[in-house]
Amino acid sequence: MSYLDQIKWTQEGLVPVIAQDAASGRILMFAWMNREALEKTVALGEAVYWSRSRNKLWHKGESSGHVQKVREIRLDCDGDVLLLEIEQVGGIACHTGRESCFYSRLEGGEWVPVDPVLKNPEEIYGA
């Protein structure tokens, strides 16, 4: 049986994916993959996701240059979530120019951005 067949895909043919910095252990982002995205990730050694909003494959860093080099791929005990241990090129995983997409913390009933913007998104993606 193929490694792809051992994953419990959603009805839409997707699996949730957590990207974690291999060195620090920090969770950088959450995304989705379909079978093709996972196959390309394995073949390239760089993260390729499925963009639900754009309805297409998304090679992380294709426009920003902030690719994710995959060091290890793990499957959870239920077979329905993937964990990518990655090296984040450029140290920025979030389209907001921050290290992690999880940059807001709940404080007093409000979401407060607590991580700095490392690079202005306009410098990354253009105006």
List phi, psi (to 5°) of 49.
-115, 175
Cα–Cα distances in angstroms (integers) from residue 102 to residues 27, 53, 57, 84, in the given order = 8, 19, 22, 16
pLDDT-derived band at 125 (thresholds 50, 70, 90) equals confident
For residue 65, tell me if it sits in a domain. yes
> Tell me: the pLDDT tens digits for 88-105?
999 999 999 999 999 999
Reply yes or no on whether the pLDDT at 52 is more than 90: yes
Sequence-separated (6 or more) residues with CB below 8 Å from residue 61: 46, 67, 68, 89, 90
Question: Does any domain span residue 126?
Answer: no
Inside any domain, residue 32: yes
Residue among 127, 126, 124 at smallest CA distance from 60: 124
Residue 20 included in any domain: yes
Q: Which amino acid type is present at position 3?
A: Y
Within a domain: 53? yes
Whether residue 47 has pLDDT greater than 90: yes
Q: How confident is the model at residue 126 (pLDDT cuts 50, 70, 90)?
A: confident
Q: Which domain holds residue 24?
A: 3-121
Is the pLDDT at 127 greater than 70, yes or no?
no
76 inside domain: yes
- Domain of 62, CATH number, reads 3.10.20.810
Does residue 127 fall inside a structural domain?
no
User: How many domains is the chain built from?
Assistant: 1
Q: What are phi and psi of 87, to 5 degrees?
A: -105, 115
Residue 21 lies in a domain: yes
Residue (of 29, 47, 30) closest to 38 by Cα position: 47
Taking the C-alpha atoms of residue 29 and residue 39, their distance in angstroms, rounded to an integer, is 20
